[in-house]
């Protein structure tokens, strides 16, 4: 029975870690919403003037064979969108800038989902811990 509880806790812990990773990625995307984006089809990590170029990410969760979940960060494709901002300091001669391809509404929804998933997984861990303690009390 304790092995089952350990498996439950392990699965919930992997879910909590995946949710925390999703929260981290969405927070980074939101914080860099107005940063210089890497141009499409470019592997550059810095602009000609040395300014870092931001590549937004997304979390893809996959099930592990033995249970639990794995969170992998992949780049959003395309990484940037062009916007007309003639007054921006990084605008080109036509007044166009590359900005990270970040949908603020989607990022906020992802944060809410990540928060709820984290809370749910922590509740599973708490419940499994309480059941394990109760089982040990019964056996003693």
Q: What's the pLDDT score for residue 1?
A: 62
Alpha helices in the chain (DSSP H): 2-31, 104-139
Q: What's the pLDDT score for residue 22?
A: 97
The residue segments making up the domain with residue 108 are: 2-139
Residue 44 has pLDDT above 90, yes or no: no
Mean pLDDT of 80-90: 93
Mean pLDDT of 108-124: 97
Encoded tokens for 120: 């749910």
Split into its structural domains, the chain has a count of 1
Q: What's the pLDDT score for residue 72?
A: 96
Residue 51 has pLDDT above 70, yes or no: yes
In terms of average pLDDT, the best of 6-10, 48-52, 122-126, 128-132 is: 122-126
Residue pair 52/100 in contact (Cβ under 8 Å)? The answer is no
Query: Which band of pLDDT confidence, cut at 50, 70 and 90, is reported for residue 45?
Result: confident
Residue pair 34/56 in contact (Cβ under 8 Å)? The answer is no
Neighbour tally for 120: CB within 10 Å: 13
Query: Which band of pLDDT confidence, cut at 50, 70 and 90, is reported for residue 134?
Result: confident
Residue pair 121/19 in contact (Cβ under 8 Å)? The answer is yes
Residue pair 25/58 in contact (Cβ under 8 Å)? The answer is yes
């Amino acid at each position: 029975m304790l092995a089952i509880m350990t498996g439950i806790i392990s699965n919930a812990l992997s879910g909590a870690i995946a949710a925390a990773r999703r929260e981290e990625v969405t927070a980074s995307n939101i914080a860099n919403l107005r940063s210089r984006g890497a141009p499409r089809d470019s592997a550059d990590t810095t602009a000609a003037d040395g300014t870092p170029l931001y590549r937004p990410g997304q979390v893809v969760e996959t099930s592990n064979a033995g249970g639990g979940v794995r969170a992998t960060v992949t780049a959003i494709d395309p990484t940037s969108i062009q916007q007309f901002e003639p007054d921006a300091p990084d605008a080109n001669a036509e007044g166009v800038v590359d900005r990270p391809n970040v949908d603020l509404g989607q990022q906020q929804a992802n944060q809410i989902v990540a928060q709820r998933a984290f809370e749910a997984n922590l509740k599973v861990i708490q419940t499994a811990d309480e059941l394990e303690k109760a089982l040990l009390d019964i056996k003693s």
